[in-house]
Amino acid sequence: MKNKFLKIKKNKGMTLVELLVVSIIFIIVSSISIFNYNKFNSSISIQNLADDLALSIRKVQGYAIGARGLGLNFDYSYGVNMSIGEQIPYSYPLSSSKSIVIFTDVSGNGQYDYTVDSESFSCGTPSSQNECLEYLTIKNNDKISKIEICNGSDCDIMGINSSINVLFKRPNPEAVFCYKESLSSSCIASVSHVIIYIENGVSQTENKISKSVTIWSTGQIYIN
């Protein structure tokens, strides 16, 4: 007579070693995915910053050769002021590694003028005391890491206390450069093009992602 009771086969669970192996594999795969995702995000962020910087300069060029005026005066030139110094308190509309200034050249001297001892931040109504038209900040950990001032094939790295003014004078699309080695120095105009380097704020060299924006005296703007 056959046994009516079926034998139940016991299923063995995972051993501790197997569980550890699976966990380690999961951690490794997750780490690689997160690293690649962060690198992808940084790459997109730097590309967006390069595009925004180039478009901002192109917008200023459009202000100069277009019909934008200040009051009833349509003869003002427009420019972009850039530097690589540390960002100072928000009460001063100054350029830095984290900000650029779009200005109206009210004084007509080809450079950005402002009053250092102004009581509060002011931008949008340019005057001879404060020519700031727009103040643009760079978000996230991205920054302007280096600016090269070039005359032909000879390029010098701009110092931390220096600034570069890229000016457009109506009705010409060409760029006029005013490179100042310090706040009190006069303009150095013998510049053929300017290269602006931007990068993410990662400390490890191997993880840095960078782009460059080149402005030529002809008015052409390139992203590399």
6 occurs within a structural domain:
no
162: containing domain? 20-223
pLDDT band, residue 75 (cuts 50/70/90): confident
Give CA–CA dist 215/224, Å, rounded. Answer: 11
13 occurs within a structural domain:
no
Structural domains of the chain, count: 1
Tens digit of pLDDT for each residue in 133-181?
999 999 888 999 999 999 999 999 999 889 999 999 888 899 999 999 8
123 occurs within a structural domain:
yes
Q: Are 14 and 23 in contact (CB under 8 A)?
A: no
Mean pLDDT of the 175-201 span: 88
151 occurs within a structural domain:
yes
3 occurs within a structural domain:
no
Tens digit of pLDDT for each residue in 92-133?
678 999 999 999 999 888 899 887 655 556 788 888 888 999
φ, ψ for residue 60, nearest 5 deg: -65, -40
